[in-house]
Amino acid sequence: MTPQDASRANEALCKLAPVIPVLVIDDVAHARPLAEAL
């Protein structure tokens, strides 16, 4: 697979499904301010 083929495959995959962001919060004290900001 060439780099161009890999790019096309990745693009096709991204068009099929939405990207779901994931946040990992290590300190519970940051959770509420972060949630309010978002």
Domain region containing 10: 3-37
Cα 34 to Cα 38: distance, rounded to the nearest angstrom: 6
pLDDT digits (tens, 9 = 90+) for 1-38: 899 999 999 899 888 877 778 889 999 999 999 999 98
Instruction: Report the domain count for the chain.
Output: 1
Tokens of 7: 């790019």
Can you state the percent helix, strand and coil of the chain, rounding each to 5?
65, 0, 35
pTM of this prediction? 0.43
pLDDT of amino acid 18: 76
